[in-house]
Amino acid sequence: MSLKSKLKETLLCLKAGRVTLPYPARGHPAPEGFRGRPVFNAAKCTGCAGCANNCPAREILVLDVCQEIRILKYLGRRCAYCGRCAEVCPERAITMSQEFETATDSIGDLQQRLELFMSTCQRCGRCFDPPSVLEELKLKGYRLDDLANERWVFGSKAYLTSEPAVDDIRIEWD
Amino acid sequence: MLKTLCQKMSGRSLWVYHANSGGCNGCDIEVLNVLTPYYDVERFGIKLVGSPRHADVMLCQGPALRATAKALRRAYEAMPAPKLVFAIGSCACGGGIWFDSYPVIGPIEKLIPVDFYIPGCPPRPEAIVYGVAVALGLVDKKTAPAQFKQLELPVPRYHPKDLLGSGEMVVYEKAEKV
Amino acid sequence: MNLLQPLFGALANAGLVLLLAPLFQGALRKLTAIFQSRQGPPLLQPYFDLLKLLGKEDIESGESPVVQRFAAYLSLATVLTMAALVPMGFAAPLNGAGDAILLIYMLTLCGVSTLLAGLAAGSTYSLVGVSREMMTMIALEPLLAIAVFVGAIQAGSFRLERVLNGSVYAAGNFPWSAVVMLAVMLFSFQAFVQKVPFDISEAETELMEGPLMEYSGPKLALFKYAQMAKLMVYSGIFVALFAPWGSDLAFPINWLFFWAKVCVLVVLVTLIAATHARYRIDQALRYFAGLLAVAFAALILASYGH
């Protein structure tokens, strides 16, 4: 409680000037890796409903109207921006954007509704089953032996997709 | 004449009462951040007061719990008109991740009428300042419902069971409202 | 003729205090913000606050709505009466209406109105706030009374224009009692104007605003106005008792000098308020007890002619 410490505190604050961000006047972008509102890309979505099954807040609803049409609805109300839907989506159709300026006066503003066409087989009428992980592995190539130099290559360099699903773990292959 | 002046002034000086009805305190800390020098919401004339009778705006966080429902309702009724309610955080907007848990009644709307929603878990202090600015009319809101359609009804279908005896195809035209 | 001039003077003084009090409060908030490295509210913010409060709904609740109303009117009324008794650069308009003891009673009545407000509400928080305010008042009012008495002893009479004219310094002699009383008043000034180290009774987070808890709308505006005006009136009393130099110059200059001195005092109050934390009630009472002992010593010195 000494006077000297109070004076020092005042001088420090005065020297710092004004630290207030001029926020609504000038934008303030979010840092790298910030998880903002999830954005659904209807072009890439296959309607597997993996996101709906994994959402901890049960925020993504799925309704099959008929065999060909599946409606996927994301209500923005309870979303905790955890990012599990984006992580699980096999087609990378969901991205956690950097938007955080989502204040509104009617909560229905945050919803996104996708109507998806599920292609059906002409002969049996059932939907196409996307290949399982093992099947995709077999289709895309598992062995990359070097035929030109007649060398046997250990390990596999063929990933299921071009970039790894998990960003912060770098797995070094051969 | 004095009345219109007073009504115009009520946008320039909002007194805020902070009510946390059972949240995890994440949004509390973000609201506290908003009152610090870095984000400084006092430049809009907003002041934190300790009693609901002095306040114009109630900042609610946390879902509506059975235990605190009565207290929240009484705090809302203690505020003098004209009043606003801001629901901050996903728990207040929609019940949050805990929406089906045993003590949770649901979002705050089940107890008191809400005027502005600021979703986030927790919302960034900039998002809260943005919400306040939208409420004061300084900026426009940036969200709107989005709808994508990959296909329009009616959809032709070629399932053998559905093919009529004459070989015509069946056309689907119904779509239920979600 | 003889009656109209003091009346107009009193109204003018009261009007000036009413007009300028929110400006000083706004300057106080802006200065606090600058000391905390942030951009604060605009200077005219308290005017907006008061206008907004006038437009709100008036909820009457608590034990006794009649006493609630009475307390609100009483607080602003006593402060404005004191404004008419204090010389603000020129002689006070209502000089002949009373003496220094009337001033002390008016100040105490102003504090009593806060107590009435808390008692009228009747809820637990406001009762605790009232008890703390009572304890603070019991410790504080004697300090101001002793300052006025020392001035009266040195000046030889209780008349307001003799006492509130730097009488403590006994016509330029600067006795010891004056120096001691100046120090005591400087150390306790924050408590008179209810600013931070000593605003115990209306501690926001501890007591949900204390005695004023149940007030809303226009009555709250009256109380807030009274608090803002108290800052100005107490500064005026302090300046008149302890720093009256320049009050015998020509009309505009002495008025401006007075307001300059009040500004210096307000900046000092803000500086202390922005850098300190609030005291607990027992710490504050111990502080005041020490100051009271020193003030009594000054009184004894003054009565012996030092």
Q: Alpha-carbon distance C51 to C109, whole Å?
A: 26
Smallest Cβ distance to A103: which of B97, B127, B161? B127
The region of weakest confidence among B96-110, B127-141, C190-204, C253-267 is: C190-204
Structure tokens belonging to residue A98 = 């950097």
The CATH number given to whatever domain includes residue B17 is 3.40.50.12280
Tell me if the bond preceding B154 is cis, omega within 30° of 0.
yes
Q: In this model, does residue A109 exceed pLDDT 60?
A: yes
DSSP-assigned beta bridge partners for residue B65: B104
Please give the average per-residue pLDDT across B78-89, as a whole number.
Answer: 89
pTM of the prediction?
A: 0.80
Q: Could you say which DSSP state residue A68 is in?
A: S
Choose the mutation target among A18, A54, A77 for the interface with B, i.e. most B CBs under 10 Å: A77
The DSSP H or E segment spanning C53 is helix C45-54
The CATH number given to whatever domain includes residue A39 is 3.30.70.3270
Put simply, the chain C residues between 249 and 278 with a CB less than 8 A from any chain A CB are 271, 274-276
Exposed e or buried b per residue across B95-127, where buried means at least 16 C-beta atoms within 10 angstroms of its C-beta: bbbbbeeeebbebbbebbebebbbbbbbbbbbb
Higher pLDDT, C82 or A167: C82
Please give the average per-residue pLDDT across B16-37, as a whole number.
Answer: 89
Task: Give the pairing type, strands A69-74 and A112-117.
Answer: antiparallel
Question: How far apart, in Å, are the Cα atoms of A18 and each of A95, A144, B42, C232, C252?
Answer: 37, 61, 14, 29, 37
Segments forming the whole domain that contains residue A86: 31-128
> Does residue C44 sit at the A interface (CB-CB below 8 Å)?
no
What's the confidence (pLDDT) of residue A159? 45
Higher pLDDT, C142 or B172: C142
In chain A, how long is the greatest CA-to-CA distance?
89
Number of domains comprising chain A: 1
C84 — alpha (psi -120 to 50), left (phi > 0) or beta? alpha
**What backbone torsions phi and psi does residue A159 show, to the nearest 5 degrees?**
-90, 160
Put simply, the chain B residues between 7 and 46 with a CB less than 8 A from any chain A CB are 37-40, 43
**Location of structure tokens 């070629």:** B158
Whether B178 maps to a domain, the answer reads no
CB contact under 8 A, B3 and C59: no
Exposed e or buried b per residue across C39-50, where buried means at least 16 C-beta atoms within 10 angstroms of its C-beta: bbbbeebbbbbb
CB C218 within 8 A of CB B80: no
Q: In this model, does residue A63 exceed pLDDT 60?
A: yes
Whether B175 maps to a domain, the answer reads no
Angle at B57 between CA B54 and CA B63, to 5 degrees: 120
CB contact under 8 A, A13 and C37: yes
> Does residue A108 sit at the C interface (CB-CB below 8 Å)?
no
Segments forming the whole domain that contains residue B13: 9-136
CB contact under 8 A, A109 and B130: no
Task: Give the pairing type, strands B47-48 and B15-20.
Answer: parallel
pLDDT in 10s for each residue of chain C, 306 residues: 577 877 888 888 888 888 999 999 999 999 988 888 888 889 999 999 998 888 887 777 777 888 888 888 999 899 888 888 887 777 777 776 778 888 888 888 988 988 888 888 878 888 888 888 888 888 888 888 888 888 888 877 887 777 777 777 766 667 778 888 888 888 888 888 888 888 777 655 566 667 888 888 888 889 889 988 988 888 888 888 887 776 667 777 878 888 888 899 999 888 888 888 888 888 888 989 999 999 998 888 888 876
Tell me if the bond preceding B113 is cis, omega within 30° of 0.
no
**Location of structure tokens 């020092």:** A8
Whether A119 maps to a domain, the answer reads yes
Whether B119 maps to a domain, the answer reads yes
Q: Closest residue of A to B88, CA-based?
A: A103
B10 interaction partners in chain C (CB closer than 8 Å):
52, 55-56
Smallest Cβ distance to B12: which of C48, C207, C216? C48
Segments forming the whole domain that contains residue C187: 4-303
Number of domains comprising chain B: 1
What's the confidence (pLDDT) of residue C23? 92
A24-50 pLDDT tens trace:
777 778 888 788 888 888 888 888 888
Q: In this model, does residue A171 exceed pLDDT 60?
A: no
Read off the pLDDT band of A160 (50, 70, 90). Answer: very low
Classify the complex by whether its ipTM is higher than 0.85, answering yes or no.
no
What's the confidence (pLDDT) of residue A1? 54
What's the confidence (pLDDT) of residue B162? 57
CB C133 within 8 A of CB C141: no
Read off the pLDDT band of B176 (50, 70, 90). Answer: very low
C209 — alpha (psi -120 to 50), left (phi > 0) or beta? left
